[in-house]
């Protein structure tokens, strides 16, 4: 099997759609965590995964020896997933989809010199409406979740008020947008690795599924199979785009927070 070729994205970005397309194209994508297509091998409940994510926030400043340690740690996780494939000869390539591993992007690219990464991005204005309930409920009490949502584990106030679940609920749209910005910006660190990193928009898959997937598999140097072409044609839908416009007025404060990145990505 060629690879690994992970899909990195912020949760609820349409990663399941892309992962299903990979599977229909003959990819092993790990042991699936139910309908989400998240790979169990990279679940956050695995303490090694949390350690890798914590390390990823310090990775650029690490010594070469420390970087090598975390690269080897990640290789161990990836090898476990690869070894879980019962019949590797029946697959053309392997990878996985799990949002938490987006934060490992630099460690991963350094750990696997022959790998390539697909970073899937979705309009943050729509993403605000697709709630990450379990994550947001932990923001007030868990430094790890504050790091992933706000980019800083030490934040204890928001809008000059103590950071409690009540405050998270009161400004929920803003917290969802901040989490989108933190995750997407982290994934965009892959831009420093030309030829190894491909950025695609969820909206492009919905509007032009065959053309977009053709570009993805061309980047990965994997033939685009007819069954994957047929599957994505049947399952991609423009109806999933632009739902935020129905709630534009109440989303304005959050949209203003995300405007610089939305504009950079061409959404504004």
Output the pLDDT for position 52.
98
pLDDT tens digits for range 182-205:
999 999 999 999 999 999 999 999
Residue listed under structure tokens 């069954």: 227
Residue range 5-23: mean pLDDT, rounded: 96
Output the pLDDT for position 132.
82
The DSSP secondary-structure symbol of 71 reads H
Confidence of residue 130 (pLDDT cuts 50, 70, 90): confident
Q: CA dist 218 to 127, 198, 214, 225, 240, Å?
A: 28, 11, 6, 12, 26
pLDDT tens digits for range 199-251:
999 999 999 999 999 999 999 999 999 999 999 999 999 988 999 999 999 99
Output the pLDDT for position 145.
96
> Can you say how many angstroms the Cα of residue 25 is from the centroid of all Cα atoms in its chain?
20
Domains of the chain: 7-264 (3.40.50)
């Amino acid at each position: 099997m060629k690879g690994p070729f992970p899909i990195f994205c912020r949760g609820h970005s349409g990663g399941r759609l892309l992962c299903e397309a990979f599977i229909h194209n003959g990819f092993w994508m790990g042991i699936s965590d139910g309908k989400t297509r998240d790979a169990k091998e990279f679940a956050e409940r695995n303490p090694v995964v949390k350690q890798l994510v914590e390390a990823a926030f310090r990775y650029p400043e690490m010594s070469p020896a420390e970087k090598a340690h975390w690269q080897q740690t990640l290789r161990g996780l990836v090898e476990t997933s690869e070894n879980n494939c019962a019949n590797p000869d029946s697959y053309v390539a392997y990878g996985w989809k799990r949002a938490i591993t987006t934060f490992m992007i630099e460690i991963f690219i350094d750990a696997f010199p022959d790998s390539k990464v697909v970073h899937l991005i979705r309009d943050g204005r729509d993403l605000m409406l697709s709630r990450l309930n379990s994550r947001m409920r932990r923001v007030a009490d868990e430094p790890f979740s504050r790091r992933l949502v706000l980019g800083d584990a030490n934040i204890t106030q928001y809008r000059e008020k103590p950071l409690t679940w009540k405050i998270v609920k009161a400004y929920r749209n803003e917290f969802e947008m901040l989490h989108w910005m933190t995750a997407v910006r982290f994934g965009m660190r892959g831009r420093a690795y030309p030829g190894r990193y491909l950025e695609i928009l969820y909206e492009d898959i919905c509007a032009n599924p065959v053309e977009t997937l053709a570009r993805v598999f061309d980047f990965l140097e994997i033939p685009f199979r007819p069954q994957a072409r047929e599957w994505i044609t049947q399952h991609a839908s423009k109806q999933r785009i632009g739902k935020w416009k129905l709630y534009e007025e109440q989303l304005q404060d959050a949209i203003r927070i995300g405007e610089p990145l939305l504009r950079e990505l061409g959404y504004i």
